[in-house]
Amino acid sequence: MGDVATVLIIDDDKYVRRAFRRELERGGVQVLEAEDGASGLRSFRERVPSAVVLDLRMPGLDGLGVLSSLVEESPETPVVVVSGEGTMTDVVEALRRGAWDFVSKPVVDTEILLRGIWRGLEKAALLRQNREYAESLKQMNGRLTSALDELRADERAARQLQFQLLPVDGLRVGPYRFFRRLFPSQLLSGDFVDYFPLGDGFAGFYLADVAGHGAASAFVTAILTTLVEKYRELLSSRGDETILHPTQFLQRLDADLKTHRLEKHITMFYGVANVATGYLIYANAGTFPFPFLAHGSEVVELASSGCPLNLPGGGPLVQGEAAFLPGGRLLLVSDGVFELHGADTHRAKRAELADITRQARDLDSVLTRLGLDESTAFSDDVALLFMRWEEERNA
């Protein structure tokens, strides 16, 4: 039992108290005695015992009255009722008022009394442990709730920061106009899109999809934007043209990401458009579906192969090229689009995307065809980048 148990015997018969004391002390129990109900309650309040042995029939305050007070003041303290005038009515009433056990006098076999006390002590210890556990669990839940509230606040702040990293919607670079949307499946997205001028003669753009969802993947998108910015700065400050050559650029990004030892791979489509000639070159590190480029009713799927970034070993990247003529539209979407309602196979969804690109004049019409808005329930992040050649430079 651990600590030495203390049992309070409340009985007006000193011989009974003596007999009980002898047997309990043999069992290693410390014993307190009281000769009537009133003194028993005083003794109990001075030193709350581990258990109480209580006689029902005593002068003055009887056992049932004492029992009611004990249970009210300390419901977890076991009370074993003993009575020489026990009837079934006494048993029922004592148990109804909270007695843990009932033993009839004369107690021929004191082992019965001892077993009743030990059962009570074990049950009381179990109740105490359960209460302490419940209290500990309550405190733990309180700390967890507080931590979750902090985490949600941090995630909301991180979401705001991530969306601030996105480029301006509708940005114009030469004849090209860029539009983007990002729909996270959670507060934070593992998808990201960006586009930017490169010197006076080029526009760069990409769509990236970091494996997984949530904060860890969003953190990698932030690292990715920093790395891309580094190569933009190298072009303007040192004339390093790495960022103008998609295959070389993605290979350098792959090496950079591996130095960070991130446990996330990234698919990424990166393109560079010549703002004067409409000549487009691109490379694809595992992005699927492939982008669609439309001129009038003609739609071309920019299919290209390549291994995702930050995978062991890596693999070769194949550079593609295409003419991006006046009136042309380019649509890039992340693979979260495959989880949307509509076409039930990848081939059918790609055919749907081709038709959407053929008919679309702006990103809003793409969203309408796909049934995408802020109220949509997403099982995967969805990112979209829409690019078009506008004839009027001052549009």
Of residues 16 and 239, more confidently modeled = 239
DSSP code, position 309: B
Q: Is 50 exceeded by the pLDDT of residue 394? A: no
The reply to whether 6-133 and 166-389 are identical in fold is no
CB 353 within 8 A of CB 385: no
Of residues 157 and 56, more confidently modeled = 56
Q: Is 80 exceeded by the pLDDT of residue 328? A: yes
Question: Band of the pLDDT at 180, cuts 50, 70, 90?
Answer: very high
Question: Band of the pLDDT at 187, cuts 50, 70, 90?
Answer: confident
How far apart, in whole angstroms, are the C-alpha atoms of residue 176 and residue 329? 10
The whole-number average pLDDT for the span 251-263 is 91
pLDDT of residue 139: 82
Q: What pLDDT, in 10s, does the model give residues 31-79?
A: 999 998 899 899 999 988 989 988 888 888 888 888 899 889 988 888 9
pLDDT of residue 149: 67
Question: Band of the pLDDT at 147, cuts 50, 70, 90?
Answer: low
Neighbours of 305 (CB within 10 A): 14
Task: Dig out the tokens for 346 from the structure.
Answer: 């990848």
DSSP string across 129-152: HHHHHHHHHHHHHHHHHHHHHHHH
CATH number of 6-133: 3.40.50.2300
pLDDT of residue 155: 66
DSSP string across 164-206: HHSPPTT-EETTEEEEEEEE-SSSS-SEEEEEEEETTTEEEEE
Q: Is 60 exceeded by the pLDDT of residue 1? A: no
Long-range (24+ apart) CB contacts under 8 A made by 15-23 are 16/55, 16/82, 16/105, 19/107, 19/110, 20/53, 20/107, 20/110, 20/113, 23/110, 23/113, 23/114
**Measured between alpha carbons, how far is residue 181 from residues 34, 112, 331 in Å?**
81, 78, 12
Q: Is 90 exceeded by the pLDDT of residue 233? A: yes
Question: Band of the pLDDT at 308, cuts 50, 70, 90?
Answer: very high
Q: Is 80 exceeded by the pLDDT of residue 314? A: no
- Report the relative pairing of strands 279-285 and 266-274 from DSSP bridges: antiparallel
Lowest mean pLDDT among 52-56, 235-239, 331-335, 382-386: 52-56
SS3 call for 326:
coil
The whole-number average pLDDT for the span 294-307 is 93
SS3 call for 344:
coil
Q: Which of 81, 178, 214 is nearest to 388 (CA)?
A: 178
Q: Is 90 exceeded by the pLDDT of residue 90? A: no
CB 189 within 8 A of CB 221: yes
Q: Is 50 exceeded by the pLDDT of residue 393? A: no
CB 209 within 8 A of CB 334: yes
Q: Is 80 exceeded by the pLDDT of residue 161? A: no
Q: Which helix (H) or strand (E) holds 21?
A: helix 14-26
SS3 call for 8:
strand
Give me the helix-helix angle, 37-46 and 63-73, nearest 10°. 20
How far apart, in whole angstroms, are the C-alpha atoms of residue 170 and residue 180? 8
pLDDT of residue 87: 66
Task: Dig out the tokens for 218 from the structure.
Answer: 């969003």
Of residues 339 and 351, more confidently modeled = 351
Q: Is 70 exceeded by the pLDDT of residue 200? A: yes
pLDDT of residue 199: 93
The whole-number average pLDDT for the span 76-83 is 86
**Measured between alpha carbons, how far is residue 313 from residues 15, 220, 253, 342, 360 in Å?**
90, 20, 14, 37, 39
Of residues 85 and 43, more confidently modeled = 43
Question: Band of the pLDDT at 108, cuts 50, 70, 90?
Answer: low
Which CATH number fits the domain 166-389, given the four candidates 3.40.50.1370, 3.40.50.970, 3.60.40.10, 3.90.600.10?
3.60.40.10
The whole-number average pLDDT for the span 252-273 is 93
How far apart, in whole angstroms, are the C-alpha atoms of residue 18 and residue 33? 9
What percent of the chain is predicted at pLDDT more than 70? 92
How far apart, in whole angstroms, are the C-alpha atoms of residue 77 and residue 27? 19
* Mean of pLDDT over the chain: 87
What's the pTM? 0.65
Domain boundaries, the chain: 6-133, 166-389
Longest Cα–Cα distance in the chain: 115
What is the Cβ-side half-sphere exposure of residue 355, based on CA atoms within 13 angstroms? 9
